[in-house]
Structure 1
Amino acid sequence: MEKIFAIVSTILGSIIGAGFSTGQEIFYFFSQFKEKSFLYIGFSSILIFLILFYLVNIRIKNIIILVIFKSYILVFSVITLTVMFSAFGQLGKELFGINKYVFTLLCVVLSFAIYKHGLLTIINLNKVVVSILIMTIAFIFSKFIHKNTILFQFKNLNFHLSKDIFHNLIFPLLYATYNSLLAFPVINNLEERFCKQEIKISIAISAVLTFLLILIINILLLSENWIQTSQMPLLKIEKNPVLQFVLVTCTFLEILTTILANYMGLSYSIKNHKIKFVIIIVSLILGFNEFQELLRKLYSLMGYIGLGIIIMILLSTLILKDKKLK
């Protein structure tokens, strides 16, 4: 159980980044569906489970597809690093009034120092941060329920298929694709330390916890209209200074854990340390742009490309199996 907890924490730590822990990502991808949000959240969580379960069970043998896949992970890592660096700087500016460039540089220094200590340090950091974040969000949610400030609108839910159902499904699909590929390099590293069966069980547990966390955060965001204009909506939901401090601290640390996941993505794609250093510097410079704009434009773009990559891998697997049968 201790091993499962370590793996689950590490997988969640790669998914729960700046967009997740600030609420911005969940608001953009799910809150727009109002009372139907939980259906799309459930669909996305199932997809995360299926994609990760599929990727952990295959080995890409086609050289061309492997090169394309590694190239995508490389571009993916650069874009995610850019968004994370921007988020760290924006968080410092919005909550503490400190120059965002200073905070962004601090983020690079801290993340690189943690990464240098190895995978075990990353696993232990995730175990602590993910546990605290889950308990804090659960406690805040219970407070809101007790005060009857949560707006449950499920009674208005109609289960007929909307005419825009296929258009709407693209949002949870992009979210699931993006976050699955974000977690993949982490899982790839975990395979050196844990057995495949433990990882498979952990993927299933992670998908369930992801569903519950997104659902709770989404309900919190929908309950307060006034916070939805903030770049960090979840951090504004709680007035208690102690709980707000915990949320902010967790967000800082979760940004770092997501950056660490992307460092693993860089290591998966390229081995040259000098090239990796140049990529980190480029991501840092691009990260000086606005967090909200970067997240909304780049996450959707990488979701579309990632969807294409997964379809390509799936088709190549099916063709390979077909040839073996013949």
Structure 2
Amino acid sequence: MNEGTDVMMKRTGRVLQVALTYMGTVVGAGFASGQEILQFFTRFGFIGALSILLSTAMFIWLGAKMMLIANEISAKSYVDLNKVLFGPRYGQLISYFMLVVLLGVTAVMLAGAGSIFSEHLGVSYQSGLLVTLFACFFLLRKGLNAILTVNAIVVPIMLFFTVLVMIDTLKTPGSDRWLLLTSDYSPFAAWASPFLYTAFNLSMAQAVLVPLGAEIKDRKTIIVGAWIGGIGIGFMLLVGHIALSVHMPGITQFAIPMGGIARQLAQSVQWIYIFLIFSEIFTTLIADVYGLSLQLQEKLKWPRELIILLILLFCFLLSQVGFGVLLSTLYPIFGLISLGWLVLMIRQQQTKL
């Protein structure tokens, strides 16, 4: 009896690890700021809620599928998954392009972390960068377990903040505006948006979800974890959408729309929000560096700690000069590749759910 309970507790723990890591990997700084929800869903009015449901279904289905394929092929990194999807030659090219994009995203995340230190904590930008780099290197020495641990702390706080926002929104006059909000955008753009959102986020999340899926041997754990994680992502998207809808169209002028909503809450909640923004930047940072280190280690056969150190040093240098121009070029191309990746994931018959 006790042995059966012990096995069930371990499986439950692994399921929660998968679910929380999935949520933490997908729900990044762009989500926490509110910009992603606004651009992909809320600006399309009441259709936004329906497209969030579509996105949620895809996160559940394709997230599980990605991790199961990684499990079946014993993938060492996202390179192996891309070879299965695109073929050996094109899969390798796509992975090289992803490496460049991940380096760019990592540099931008690092710059964002430095800005939070300078703007909200009264610490210099350079000091903020160095503190973030040191924490990142220290944690990543512990491998995938570090990412699992960080998400196990950050995601419950994120869910708590989401519930606070939901309670506050329900008390606000016009809390039902998300059901009535109209939009001048075309229905085609509105219905294409959840596919773009899911494609971009899942293709970026490969860096962590592929090695995670390869490590967990139990298929049921992966499937249940993907269900809980996908529903959690959908819940946070919907609450953010409802909260932003109340303040439309004025909220569109804010660079950080959720920050405008957080300012209306208690001072303590605002500090939770600042912590969340930093944490989401940090979780994206360590996830990207981890994925990059696996890809480069497979190719170069260098010690992993040396590779992590070199990636962080490279991103530190990039964060000094900014990376906006290159990212503005890379992101549209990456968006197209992500859509191709999504189609191939849907068509992939290697695994059955």
Deviation sequence 1:106-131 (CA, Å, 0-9, x none): 32222222212332232122112101
Q: How does 1:164-313 map to 2 (within 5 A)?
A: 164-190=186-212, 191-225=214-248, 226-238=250-262, 239=264, 240-271=266-297, 272=302, 273=304, 277-288=309-320, 299-311=331-343
Q: How does 1:18-97 map to 2 (within 5 A)?
A: 18-58=29-69, 59=73, 60-61=83-84, 62-96=87-121
CA distance in 1, matches of 2:331, 2:126: 22
CA distance in 1, matches of 2:64, 2:157: 27
Listed as ranges, the gaps of 5+ residues in structure 1 are 322-326
CA distance in 1, matches of 2:210, 2:118: 35
1:173 maps to a residue whose letter is: F
* Alpha carbons of structure 1 residues 290 and 152: separation in structure 2 relative to 1, 3 Å: farther
CA distance in 2, matches of 1:26, 1:292: 21
**Within the alignment, does 1:4 sit opposite 2:15 as a pair?**
yes
SS class of match (1:117): coil
* CA drift at 1:64: 1.9
Question: Do the aligned residues in 2 keep the contact of 1:17 with 1:84 (CA within 8 Å)?
Answer: no
Match of 2:147 among 99, 122, 125: 122
**Within the alignment, does 1:17 sit opposite 2:42 as a pair?**
no
227-236 vs 205-214, greater mean Cα deviation: 227-236
Question: Do the aligned residues in 1 keep the contact of 2:143 with 2:290 (CA within 8 Å)?
Answer: no
CA distance in 2, matches of 1:28, 1:296: 16
CA distance in 1, matches of 2:243, 2:123: 28
SS class of match (1:169): helix
Deviation sequence 1:54-108 (CA, Å, 0-9, x none): 3233344542244234324423321321332232233334434654444233322
* CA drift at 1:313: 6.4
247-256 vs 44-53, greater mean Cα deviation: 44-53
**Alignment identity in percent?**
23
* Alpha carbons of structure 1 residues 118 and 267: separation in structure 2 relative to 1, 3 Å: same
* CA drift at 1:151: 4.8
User: How big is the alpha-carbon RMSD for the aligned residues of Structure 1 and Structure 2?
Assistant: 3.2
CA distance in 1, matches of 2:205, 2:281: 14
* Alpha carbons of structure 1 residues 163 and 110: separation in structure 2 relative to 1, 3 Å: closer
* Alpha carbons of structure 1 residues 149 and 314: separation in structure 2 relative to 1, 3 Å: closer
* CA drift at 1:8: 0.6
297-306 vs 8-17, greater mean Cα deviation: 297-306
Question: Do the aligned residues in 2 keep the contact of 1:10 with 1:122 (CA within 8 Å)?
Answer: yes
Q: So what's the TM-score if we normalise by structure 2?
A: 0.77
Listed as ranges, the gaps of 5+ residues in structure 2 are 1-11, 74-82
Q: So what's the TM-score if we normalise by structure 1?
A: 0.83
Q: How many residues were matched structurally?
A: 316
2:271 maps to a residue whose letter is: F
* Alpha carbons of structure 1 residues 276 and 22: separation in structure 2 relative to 1, 3 Å: same
* Alpha carbons of structure 1 residues 294 and 27: separation in structure 2 relative to 1, 3 Å: farther
* CA drift at 1:48: 2.5
CA distance in 2, matches of 1:294, 1:46: 33
Deviation sequence 1:198-255 (CA, Å, 0-9, x none): 1121112211111110111122223235543332221231231101111211221222
2:315 maps to a residue whose letter is: S
- Matched with 2:158 is 133
101-110 vs 250-259, greater mean Cα deviation: 101-110
Question: Do the aligned residues in 1 keep the contact of 2:41 with 2:190 (CA within 8 Å)?
Answer: no
* Alpha carbons of structure 1 residues 26 and 95: separation in structure 2 relative to 1, 3 Å: farther
